[in-house]
Structures are given as structure tokens and as C-alpha cells.
Amino acid sequence: MRLDLLKTDYFHAEAYPTFLYYNPHTSTKTVDIEVGPEATDVYDAITNQYLARGVRGRAEVAIPAESAIVAVLAPAGRELRRDGKRTLLGDVAVSFTAQE
């Protein structure tokens, strides 16, 4: 299952395309994420890890059993940094933590 997390967030700040992928199965599943023709990094806002870097066209991403990822599709090479409770790729916030 894939949900566009920005589709109904009418008041969000600048954001990269962000999708929730859920795997209800008891085994890891792989999905192909269409990222377009430009080099793109796929970042998981849940685990705060890159799932793919510098991909074009499609990115193959594994989703662990009975879990989810929040895939952020950012232009390749953006600097990853922390600013208080925010994680940013370039100047765009991609995740927020409850604690610093």
C-alpha cells in the first residue's frame, strides 16, 4: 500500500514528495518506486536512513515484514543535517523527533 502524505496536507511548508509504504505481509517485500529522470535520493523518515542514493527512473526498496517506511524523494546530494528536532535534506525538513 502507498499513500501520498502531502496530498491532503494543504498547509505544509516546502517539502519533497513523501510517501508511506506499508507491508502487511510476514516477509520482507520489495517495491519499485518511480523517482523520475533526475538523480534522486530516497530517504526513510522513520529510520533516518537512505534507502537509495543517486537513482534515476526506478528505485528498488525493501520494506521489512509487517512494517512501514516513509520514503522522501529528494534531489540527489542534498546535505543531511540535524537542526534541533528537525532532520533536513538541504534546507527542507524531512522528519521531526519528539526529543532532542
CATH of the domain at 20: 2.60.40.1180
Whether the Cβ atoms of residue 40 and residue 61 lie closer than 8 Å to each other? no
Residue 53 lies in a domain: yes
Please give the share of the chain, as a percent, with pLDDT higher than 70.
97
Predicted pLDDT at 99: 59
Residue 99 lies in a domain: no
Residue 16 lies in a domain: yes
Predicted pLDDT at 50: 97
**How many domains does the chain divide into?**
1
Whether the Cβ atoms of residue 35 and residue 57 lie closer than 8 Å to each other? yes
Q: Where are the alpha helices (DSSP H) in 1-100?
A: none
Instruction: For residues 8 and 98, give the distance between their C-alpha atoms in angstroms, rounded to a whole number.
Output: 23
Whether the Cβ atoms of residue 20 and residue 46 lie closer than 8 Å to each other? no
Residue 86 lies in a domain: yes
Whether the Cβ atoms of residue 21 and residue 69 lie closer than 8 Å to each other? yes
Predicted pLDDT at 1: 81
pLDDT in tens, 28-63: 999 999 999 999 999 999 999 999 999 999 999 999
Predicted pLDDT at 22: 97
Average the pLDDT over 66-77 and give the result. Answer: 97
Predicted pLDDT at 68: 97
Residue 100 lies in a domain: no
Total residue length of the chain: 100
Output 6 or 100, whichever has higher pLDDT: 6
Average pLDDT, the chain: 94
